[in-house]
């Protein structure tokens, strides 16, 4: 099961990288003059669909990967969880620094939930290390 977990975590990492690059491209392009929405990335998807597929999908795959790999000791699984969680947080911070946006209640909720999601993945990485240490010390 650890191999399947690692594969899911690598797919999740790939989704996060694609998502992050698309968001950066979109934040650098001009806003639509008619709708006033942010610019278009290289993916032909609007922000909600892009976030649902690439963001939520990546987080779901990371959590599934943790669940599948929790019983077998692995050094790779917590590292990938740290990378995925850190990439979510770092990507948000980079986009916030690059983008020119208004801070309203909806934006603050998005920022908060995204930071929390990244923190949860990092927490799962820490939990995996603790679980592995307990299993190895009980042998």
pLDDT in tens, the chain (139 residues): 889 999 999 999 999 999 888 887 877 776 655 555 556 778 787 777 888 888 899 999 999 999 999 989 999 999 999 999 999 999 888 878 876 667 788 888 888 999 999 999 999 999 999 999 998 888 6
Contacts of 85 (CB under 8 A, 6+ apart): 62, 117, 118, 119, 120, 121, 122, 123, 124, 125
Q: Domain of residue 66: give its range.
A: 2-138
Q: Please state the domain count of the chain.
A: 1
H or E, element range at 73 = none
Task: Locate all alpha helices (DSSP H) within the chain, ordered by sequence.
Answer: 2-28, 47-50, 57-69, 76-98, 105-138
What global pTM score does this model have?
Answer: 0.85
Task: Compute, in degrees rounded to 10, the torsion defined by CA atoms 10, 99, 42, 34.
Answer: 140
**Residue 79 DSSP SS3:** helix
């Amino acid at each position: 099961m650890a191999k399947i977990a690692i594969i899911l975590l690598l797919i999740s990492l790939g989704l996060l990288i694609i998502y992050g690059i698309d968001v950066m491209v979109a934040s650098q392009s001009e806003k639509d003059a008619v709708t006033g929405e942010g610019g278009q990335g290289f993916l032909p998807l609007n922000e909600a669909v892009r976030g649902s597929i690439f963001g939520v999908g990546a987080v779901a795959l990371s959590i599934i990967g943790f669940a599948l790999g929790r019983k077998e000791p692995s050094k790779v699984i917590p590292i990938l969880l740290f990378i995925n969680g850190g990439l979510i947080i770092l990507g948000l911070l980079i986009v916030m620094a690059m983008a020119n946006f208004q801070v309203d209640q909806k934006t603050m909720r998005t920022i908060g939930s995204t930071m929390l999601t990244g923190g949860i993945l990092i927490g799962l990485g820490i939990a995996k290390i603790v679980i592995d240490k307990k299993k190895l010390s009980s042998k």
